[in-house]
Amino acid sequence: MKLPADTTSALEERLQDLSAVPRSMPASFYADPAMHPAEVERVFINGWVCVGRADEVPKKGDYYTLELFDEPLAVVRQADGGVAVLSNVCRHRGSQILAGAGHVSRLTCPYHRWSYALDGTLLAAPLLQETAGFYASQCKLPGFRTQLWMGWIFVNLDGKADDFAVEIEGLDDYVRNYHAEQMKTVGVETEHWEVNWKCLAENFMEGYHLTPVHRNTLHPMTPSRLCEKIPGGKGYTGYKSHYSPSFIGRTQVHPDMTPEECSQSMMVWIYPSFVAAISPNSSVYMSITPSGPTSLQTRWAVTSREETFESGEANDRLAFARAFNSEDRDRLLDVQKGLRSRFATRGFLAPADYEGTVWDFYYYLAEKVL
């Protein structure tokens, strides 16, 4: 799994010379096919990846399905109130068990009617009771290591990631008062972009582009000049996106929030690819996964406080997110084209408050893939 020579050199430089002038990575970092398999195996399979929100499965037996790096998964609300992420592949002959989203009392395969309890325990395998060597106890659906954080569900596919709490140590100090776990999902959308996943994650998490790209959407609320980076941790980075004094603040804030928290959004990046803008009464988040060297899938949604659904604000937040996501997509499609140029070069990064999160990400990724 050999990486491009110029990419390897640039990554090593980031680790060896901490006082170097911040510069962006070479084009191969975003466009070379050799990066893709290394990132899938070393960054995503053994990392924590967001698969949605717990409020998407509010009641016992509620479920939804998704696929993560060719692994069919089912997110299922358990009898004890917990949330489990299970393999969505029957232990008989490999059929997928559930499709889409819905509610079940048990997980029943449509192929030969093998059925499982909500925790994956095999309940029935028609006509196999007398089969020599068959033991139902050996046919439980595999479950994946799962962590809930502020209502978001994270999964580790290989079971070898460091503890989630260790990865995000220090982050809760910046976000706990927003109580995002009390927000409800407004809408979930899955999109495919012909863009390298790192381009989108970096874009979502740097404030330098807010004013030029989002002049009529985000700039009036949170211009680039008011961004303030926070110290990054082992598995995260972020910044405070302060609101313009002329912006009329978000309503329905949580009583625990400080005046500063009421006048800013916390921009959070939990590596590798969970990015979120956690605001006083809503949030916008993306879970980004590579589908190829220069293509990605993003499962994104808006969440909002209960009161905003009654006032109609929740739908306004969703429409607003669609608008600025579309602006980002247009720009990033152009970026991906530009990265194919033989004249593409490494640029200088803006000061830490504006692109320091990108700098943090380089260190993280270098440690994973070198």
pLDDT in tens, 198-248: 999 999 999 999 999 999 999 999 999 999 999 999 999 999 999 999 998
Contact call for residues 65 and 73 (beta carbons, < 8 A): yes
**Which residue type occupies 309?**
F
Mean pLDDT of 299-310: 93
Residue 62 has pLDDT above 80, yes or no: yes
Mean pLDDT of the region 113-125: 96
Percent of the residues in the chain that have a pLDDT greater than 70, as a whole number: 94
Assigned CATH topology for domain 5-47+164-369: Naphthalene 1,2-dioxygenase Alpha Subunit; Chain A, domain 1 (3.90.380)
- Name the residue among 237, 204, 206, 221 with its Cα closest to residue 327: 204
pLDDT of residue 270: 98
Give the separation between CA 65 and CA 88, rounded to whole angstroms: 8
8 Å CB contact between 237 and 357: yes
**Minimum mean pLDDT among 14-23, 199-208, 226-235, 303-312: which range?**
14-23
Question: What percentage of the chain's residues is helix, strand, coil (to nearest 5)?
Answer: 30, 30, 40
Rg (Cα) of the chain, in Å, rounded? 22
Q: How large is the average pLDDT for residues 336-354? A: 92
**In the structure, what pLDDT confidence band is assigned to residue 22 with cuts at 50, 70 and 90?**
confident
Outline which parts of the chain fall under CATH 3.90.380.10: 5-47+164-369
Task: Write down the pLDDT at residue 2.
Answer: 59
pLDDT digits (tens, 9 = 90+) for 247-256: 986 677 999 9
pLDDT at position 345, please?
86
At 131, the pLDDT band (50, 70, 90 cuts) reads confident
**DSSP structure string for 231-282:** EEETTEEEEEEEPPTTSPPPSS--TT--HHHHTEEEEEEETTTEEEEE-SSE
18 pLDDT above the threshold of 50: no
pLDDT at residue 249 in the model:
67
Average pLDDT, the chain: 93
pTM: 0.94
What is the separation of C-alpha 266 from the centre of its chain, rounded to a whole number of angstroms? 15
Give me the mean pLDDT over the 282-289 stretch. Answer: 97
| Overall average pLDDT of the 70-82 stretch | 97
pLDDT of residue 15: 54
Report residue 39: phi and psi, to 5°. Answer: -70, -40
pLDDT given for residue 19 in this prediction: 47
Least confident of 12-16, 41-45, 241-245, 328-332: 12-16
**Hey, what CATH class is 50-156 in?**
mainly beta
Q: Per-residue confidence at 4, pLDDT binned at 50, 70, 90?
A: low
Give the model's pLDDT for residue 26.
87
CATH 2.102.10.10 residue ranges for the chain: 50-156
* pLDDT the model gives residue 136: 84
pLDDT at 12: 67
